[in-house]
Amino acid sequence: MNPQLHACHNFTRPITRRDALRQFGIGFGATALSGLLGPLARAQPPASAALRGTTAARIGGKAKRVIFLFMHGGPSAVDSFDYKPALEQHDGQTAPQLPKITFAAANGREGSKLWKSPWAFTPRGQSGHRVSDLFPHLGGLVDEMCFLHSCHGTAPDHGAAVLKMNTGTEAFVRPSMGSWMLYGLGSENENLPGFITISPSDKHGGVRNYGSAFLPAEFQGTPLGNENLKARDARFRFLAKPNDPTQRRELDFLRTLNAPGAAGDNALDARIATFEMAFKMQMAAPEVLDISRESKATRAAYGLDQPATADFGTQCLLARRFAEAGVRFIQVSTGFKWDQHGGLIKGHNENARATDQPCAALLRDLRERGLLDDTLVLWGGEFGRTPTREGGDGRDHNPHGYTMWLAGGGVKPGRVGSTDELGYFATDNKIHLNDLHATLLALMGLDHEKLTYRYAGRDFRLTDVAGHVVKEVFA
């Protein structure tokens, strides 16, 4: 008899695989376990202590969930929601005292001639906020939106800007915004992931934009389809046929072998939890994904009966269904379509036609179902575009001043901040992306300075060491 085995266990319970790996896991056994857990095994504190830390970060907020309508590629603010009459006055003139954007200069495209918007701007709603003819449907809802006209960042290229928008950093591997929110608040549905990204892109950071990095794996985003797949065909990967009793027995046996709850093994517990979630999703996900049960009127409202709007309309309708089901963070992506260095008139027309009606239908549907009050909707891209012309009819990247908008979730309709008279630089009440993240967390009832996770010897947060809450957006 092995005396060490006898001393350690006294035969009060059988040795588990976890015990064996912990006490005898040398050589290939230890290497295999390290490979399985990866960097998660080195993250501190353990999940139990980390969750206690999130309690201090909770400050109370009206919003319970987020729907992020991501316009990947950078829609032009001066052609959509930020009306600039000075562009009409100075159309074709050399832009006064405007520096060349780094990205443009690197490619030999100065774009120094001002170009008025090809679309007319019309006062809409009781507020009279001017919206371009690109967005007639959203224009009818301006009185429910809070326009952030002074957003700005530092990254002039898509890759860094998309990562900054989604993770708070331009270069490092960090948890995504949705992962932080799920970590701070937990999930409202045990049978679906708390963070779902619909039709995400594999460009400009790919999975890093919805990954959990050093946070436990249970907080990562779950992709539904991708940008190269029609939304109607999107399915969650690796879901076998539902209600398989063999799978249930296998999961129960796995959990028994790994004796969950032992101190210091939270990463492995999180991995097992993902297996459990996949099993539960086999029953819950098909029902949520089945939009055939929606009324003909609802399907028409989202544009599912029109080729131009059917795909993005399906994504928005799924977002509403996920919101109803208690998913904490839902991201809907257009795919990389808004980057018109040339052909802006054609490209922005097509993109707006595809997204305008579905986005407006989503807001109305949420309101009619009583969900808009506690659902925070965010619309925008990774940056805007210049007020100057590039090539024949294009605009270059502009991270210095652009517009995003919020609706629902305790937001006060109106406008915050502004850009200069040409729409180039944020000037009044500037909102950096760190500020946007801090504000989103606050609307969700989380203090961005206290929502931290200790990893590799320091406390990390979504806003790092920056960011302030834009209190003007609160109702």
Residue 45 has pLDDT above 50, yes or no: no
Confidence of residue 53 (pLDDT cuts 50, 70, 90): very low
In degrees and rounded to multiples of 5, residue 430 shows phi and psi of -65, 140
**Averaged pLDDT of the chain:** 84
Determine contact, residues 363/379, Cβ cutoff 8 Å.
no
- Pick the residue with more confidence: 207 or 250? 207
Which amino acid is residue 233, in one-letter code?
D
**Quick one: tokens of 168?**
């708070």
pLDDT tens string 165-209: 999 999 899 999 999 999 999 988 888 899 999 999 999 999 999
Task: Give the CA angle between residues 372, 471, 77 to the nearest 5°.
Answer: 70
Determine contact, residues 200/222, Cβ cutoff 8 Å.
no
pLDDT at residue 321 in the model: 97
Residue 257 has pLDDT above 70, yes or no: no
Please state, as a whole number, how many other Cβ atoms lie within 10 Å of the Cβ of residue 136. Answer: 16
Across 244-262, average pLDDT: 59
Which amino acid is residue 120, in one-letter code?
A
Task: Give the CA angle between residues 139, 231, 199 to the nearest 5°.
Answer: 80
pLDDT at residue 391 in the model: 82
pLDDT tens string 374-433: 999 999 999 999 999 998 899 999 999 999 999 999 999 999 999 999 999 999 999 999
Q: Return the residue matching tokens 């795909």.
A: 311
pLDDT at residue 93 in the model: 87
Q: Return the residue matching tokens 């809450």.
A: 469
Calculate the dihedral angle through the C-alpha atoms of 377, 463, 53, 19, rounding to the nearest 10 degrees: 100
pLDDT at residue 465 in the model: 94
pLDDT at residue 17 in the model: 52
Residue 265 has pLDDT above 60, yes or no: no
Please state, as a whole number, how many other Cβ atoms lie within 10 Å of the Cβ of residue 337. Answer: 21
Helix (H) or strand (E) holding 380: strand 375-380
pLDDT at residue 274 in the model: 59
How far apart (Å, rounded) are the C-alpha atoms in residues 79 and 121? 8
DSSP letters spanning 103-125: HHHHTT----BB---SS-EEEET
pTM strictly above 0.85:
no
How far apart (Å, rounded) are the C-alpha atoms in residues 82 and 89? 16
Percent of the chain with pLDDT over 90: 68
How far apart (Å, rounded) are the C-alpha atoms in residues 224 and 218? 16
Residue 288 has pLDDT above 80, yes or no: yes
Confidence of residue 227 (pLDDT cuts 50, 70, 90): very high
- Pick the residue with more confidence: 23 or 162? 162
- Give Cβ neighbours of residue 19 (< 8 Å, ≥ 6 apart): 8, 9, 259
Q: Return the residue matching tokens 């109803």.
A: 324
Nearest to 183 by CA among 208, 215, 221, 211: 215
DSSP letters spanning 71-91: -TT---GGGTT---HHHHHTT
Confidence of residue 242 (pLDDT cuts 50, 70, 90): low
**Partners of 197 in the β-ladder:** 223, 331
pLDDT tens string 456-470: 999 999 999 999 999
Q: What is the Cα gyration radius of the chain?
A: 24
Residue 312 has pLDDT above 70, yes or no: yes
Residue 11 has pLDDT above 60, yes or no: no
Q: What is the DSSP letter of 321?
A: H
- Give Cβ neighbours of residue 337 (< 8 Å, ≥ 6 apart): 72, 73, 347, 350, 351
How far apart (Å, rounded) are the C-alpha atoms in residues 38 and 275? 17
Work out the angle between the directed axes of helices 28-37 and 17-24 (0-180°, nearest 10): 110
pLDDT tens string 66-115: 999 999 999 999 999 999 999 999 999 887 655 444 334 333 344 478 99
Confidence of residue 286 (pLDDT cuts 50, 70, 90): confident
Helix (H) or strand (E) holding 349: helix 344-368
How far apart (Å, rounded) are the C-alpha atoms in residues 433 and 463? 9
DSSP letters spanning 252-306: HHHHHHH-TT-TT-HHHHHHHHHHHHHHHHHHHHHHHH-GGGS-HHHHHHTTTTS
pLDDT at residue 151 in the model: 98
